[in-house]
Amino acid sequence: MPAQGADTLETRAIHQMKGTKVTTTAPSTSTSTPLRSRFQWRVIDIVVASVIGVASGLIFVVWNVASSPALAPFAALLPGLQAVGGGFWLFAGVLTALVIRKPGAAIYGEVVAASVSALIGNQWGVLTLVSGLTQGLGAEIVFAAFLYANWRVSGAVLAGAGAGLAMAITDLTIWYVGAEVSFAIVYTIAAVVGGMLIAGLLSWLATRGLAATGALNRFGAGREIAKRV
């Protein structure tokens, strides 16, 4: 009898040790997984970001042709005001970032769109890639400043403003060298406003619209909308 009782006590002790081991290892797994899923790109992220970039690039191609006649009245009204229409070249990065929600998404989306525009052909040639890189970087810096945690309308609008500022700096450096200070000021303000309204606000609304259809259910944006419904 004593030996049998000792066996029972020993068995219980072993089970308790095993249970303790499981509970001590579980927290490390649960804390590391969210970090990986938050910042690590999945295959579907690359595919969807590429689709957004290519589709945006095709819109860029149309706007490349339509922008001059559409923005001529703005330039005639106040030189530099035409930069407000630049928002139609800035939305790819902001939209991609709002959907993917991963570091580098804004740069990726904008560069892919700029590459499509350059490959199909436009009046700016290979310098389109420079613009795409700087504009994507302008939006990326804003999202990074919020530690990739602000996907609300405020974050989108500020990212659009960052892209617009980057566009103004790039354009004034490459295309408008020696421009008057008054022109540079108007151009910069118009670019920022266009970025806020077109690249920022419209991209945020487009993301919500896509999420409401269920097309983004595998992304944070889609799950966020689903919780509110």
Tokens of 6: 């000792």
pLDDT at position 229 is 53
Annotate 95-124 with DSSP letters as a single string: HHHHHH-STTHHHHHHHHHHHHHHHH--TT
Q: What is the largest CA-CA distance in the chain?
A: 104
- Close Cβ partners of 101 (under 8 Å, ≥ 6 residues apart): 148, 151, 219, 220, 221
Residues 191-228 have pLDDT tens digits of 999 999 999 999 999 999 999 999 898 888 888 766 66
Tokens of 163: 């892209």
Task: Give domain limits for the chain.
Answer: 1-40, 43-228
pTM (2 d.p.): 0.82
Tens digit of each residue's pLDDT (9 = 90 or more) over 164-187: 999 999 999 999 999 999 999 999
pLDDT at 57 over 80: yes
